[in-house]
Amino acid sequence: MTEGLIEPEKGQLTYNNYLKVDELIGLQNLQSDPPQHDETLFIIIHQAYELWFKQILHEVSAIIDFLKNDDLLAVFKSCRRVIRIQDLLIKQVDILETMTPNDFNHFRALLNPASGFQSAQFRVFEFQLGLKRRSYLRYHSNDPVATVALNEALDAPTLYDHVLACLDRLGLDIPREILERDISKPHAPSDDLARVFGSIYRNSEDNYHVYLLLELLLDIDQKLISWRWRHVSMVERIIGHTIGTGGSMGVDYLTSTLKKRCFPEIWSARKYVITDLSERPGSMGYSGSTDSELPRPSEPDS
Ligand code: HEM
């Protein structure tokens, strides 16, 4: 069965030296002494995330180049790859949940004040997607490499800026004030833009490439929300409502980030497609309904 397999000669490229496997598997330096079994998992999982973050940033910069050339097919391909990676990142949380609160407690205090909150690549990804917050720079002040990367992302147009410029060139009626805005500031949600997207969604067959682009962007945004939700739920399961090693209110802080939206108008465009029952007097809608069996918006469906 192994006939024909090559026996490498000295100096030839091998799996090991190409991928620097020895260096890679030597990068797990535990803080605990005596070593705590689960700290190895904790380190490897974070390192795996950072490698995938690196690949995501690599894809985002490719997407931006493709957008500059109005090459939507290439944009679709890279967006799909980002989405697949995000699926994996969400799934990875399952592995970490095999660690019990007590397993984590054996080395948690040794991690203080380090936290995933300081992941510069995660923050660059957020900034590139439009979630720019200059105040986050101060949490990286002791890391010159991270500071440069974060400043670059803060001062550069976001993925969304490039998307909108591309759609403008393709003939969509993108509001001028958005195209000419100060790119160092966060994007201010625009109802005019949501109406433009609403018209795309109402006629998706006639604008299929634009529709597909918007849906892929929405996938990326939604997967990020799913990751946030999966992460906070895991955090609650392991540390409950205690303060994070980074010093935040832990679960409460993380829950507040669930509201973040990278592409607000792609979400709000839905209201220009779906009939709003509350705006139809005398209908079975929420505002005018006297039917006690219909759930009201504030009540959970049961
Ligand atoms: C036992 C496992 C984990 C616990 C208990 C945990 C806990 C926390 C807590 C409490 C925070 C809020 C900041 C703070 O006060 O520290 C946080 C933020 C964060 N964590 Fe985790 N985490 C865990 C695993 C991970 C993993 C595997 C990643 C993957 C990279 C990660 C990435 C992040 C990121 C990116 C933030 C910042 C989120 C934001 O600001 O929106 N965490 N984590």
Residue 205 lies in a domain: yes
- pLDDT band at residue 292 under the 50/70/90 scheme: very low
Tell me: pLDDT of 123 over 60: yes
Determine the pLDDT at residue 281.
63
Residue 67 lies in a domain: yes
Question: In 3D, which of 225, 217, 227 has the Cα closest to residue 269?
Answer: 217
Residue 288 lies in a domain: no
Q: What percent of the chain has pLDDT over 70?
A: 92
Residue 33 lies in a domain: yes
Tell me: pLDDT of 282 over 70: no
More confident site: 284 or 163? 163
On whether the CB atoms of residues 97 and 41 are closer than 8 A, the answer is: no
d(CA 109, CA 207): 54
Residue 283 lies in a domain: no
Over range 68-96, report the average pLDDT. Answer: 98
Over range 44-56, report the average pLDDT. Answer: 98
Tell me: pLDDT of 96 over 60: yes
Residue 111 Cβ inside 6 Å of ligand 1? The answer reads no
Q: Whole domain around residue 78: which residue ranges?
A: 15-107+117-274
- pLDDT band at residue 280 under the 50/70/90 scheme: low
Tell me: pLDDT of 302 over 50: no
297 burial level (CB within 10 Å; 0-12, 13-18, 19+):
exposed
Residue 115 Cβ inside 6 Å of ligand 1? The answer reads yes
| Ligand 1 centroid to residue 260 C-alpha, Å | 16
Tell me: pLDDT of 155 over 90: yes
Range of weakest confidence among 52-56, 171-175, 226-230, 279-283: 279-283
Determine the pLDDT at residue 117.
97
Q: What percent of the chain has pLDDT over 90?
A: 86
**Count of all residues that appear for the chain in the document:** 302
Over range 106-128, report the average pLDDT. Answer: 97
| Ligand 1 centroid to residue 290 C-alpha, Å | 46
Over range 220-231, report the average pLDDT. Answer: 98
Determine the pLDDT at residue 91.
98
| Ligand 1 centroid to residue 246 C-alpha, Å | 9
Give me the residue label for tokens 């994007």.
187
Residue 24 lies in a domain: yes
On whether the CB atoms of residues 257 and 250 are closer than 8 A, the answer is: no
- pLDDT band at residue 71 under the 50/70/90 scheme: very high
Query: Of 235, 238, 245, 252, which is best to mutate to test ligand 1, by the most ligand atoms within 8 angstroms of its C-beta?
Result: 235
On whether the CB atoms of residues 226 and 90 are closer than 8 A, the answer is: yes
- pLDDT band at residue 277 under the 50/70/90 scheme: confident
Query: Of 231, 241, 249, which is best to mutate to test ligand 1, by the most ligand atoms within 8 angstroms of its C-beta?
Result: 231
Tell me: pLDDT of 295 over 80: no
Find the angle CA(96)-CA(217)-CA(124) to the nearest 5 degrees. 60
Beta-strand runs (E) in the chain: none
CATH number at residue 37: 1.20.58.480
Asked, as a colleague might, if the bond just before 34 is cis with ω within 30 of 0, I would say yes
Per-chain mean pLDDT for the chain = 92
Over range 245-269, report the average pLDDT. Answer: 97
Residue owning the nearest CA to atom 41 of ligand 1: 257
Tell me: pLDDT of 176 over 50: yes
- pLDDT band at residue 95 under the 50/70/90 scheme: very high
Determine the pLDDT at residue 296.
44
Residue 289 lies in a domain: no
Residue 45 lies in a domain: yes
Domain count, the chain: 1
Residue 235 Cβ inside 6 Å of ligand 1? The answer reads yes
